[in-house]
């Protein structure tokens, strides 16, 4: 079982520019908060696609830690994202990630991004990570 504080410390050290906050990790799931004041906006005033792609990728990474412990060398092999609804203005984004498949080498993660307090899904992503052989991990 991995502790939230340990995951947060790892992320802060590894990705010092990232404002993401780990709210939950465990049971093949993770929930990550992206504070809106750190959000890159695009024309139209909405959160940019790349901000949401990075958030989807990070939340999948952390969900994998719930199963394997902190695993720096896990790498994304593919990511598919659909942008569904415009995020609410001035509201944090929340990413909920859940492992759909845990294989020996590949893990597939379903991610849903919401505006905090809103039920509408802002974006849905499927993210595949490659898990390093144990000796490399």
Q: How far is the CB of 118 from its own copies (least distance, A)?
A: 14
42 binding its own copies? (CB under 8 A): yes
124 binding its own copies? (CB under 8 A): yes
Kind plus residue range of the DSSP H or E element containing 100 = strand 93-102
Q: CA 7 to CA 13: how far, in whole Å?
A: 10
85 binding its own copies? (CB under 8 A): yes
Torsion angle, CA of 56/61/62/65, rounded to 10 degrees?
Answer: 160
5 binding its own copies? (CB under 8 A): no
Nearest to 32 by CA among 9, 55, 50, 1: 55
118 binding its own copies? (CB under 8 A): no
Angle at 128 between CA 127 and CA 134, to 5 degrees: 135
106 binding its own copies? (CB under 8 A): yes
Residues forming the site for its own copies (CB under 8 A):
14-15, 17, 40, 42-44, 46, 49-50, 53-54, 57-58, 72-73, 75-85, 100-101, 105-106, 108, 110, 121, 124, 126, 128, 130
């Amino acid at each position: 079982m991995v502790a939230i504080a340990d995951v947060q410390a790892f992320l802060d050290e590894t990705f010092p520019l990232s404002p993401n906050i780990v709210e939950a990790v465990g049971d093949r799931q993770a929930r990550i908060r992206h504070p809106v004041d750190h959000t890159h906006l695009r024309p139209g005033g909405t959160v940019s696609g790349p901000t949401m792609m990075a958030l989807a990728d990070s939340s999948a990474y952390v969900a994998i830690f719930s199963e394997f412990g902190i695993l720096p060398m896990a790498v994304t092999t593919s990511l598919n994202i659909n942008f569904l609804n415009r995020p609410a203005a001035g509201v944090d984004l929340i990413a909920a990630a859940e492992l759909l498949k845990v294989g020996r080498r590949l893990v597939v993660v379903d991610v849903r991004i919401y505006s905090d307090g809103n039920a509408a899904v802002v974006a849905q992503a499927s993210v595949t990570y490659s898990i390093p052989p144990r000796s490399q991990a």
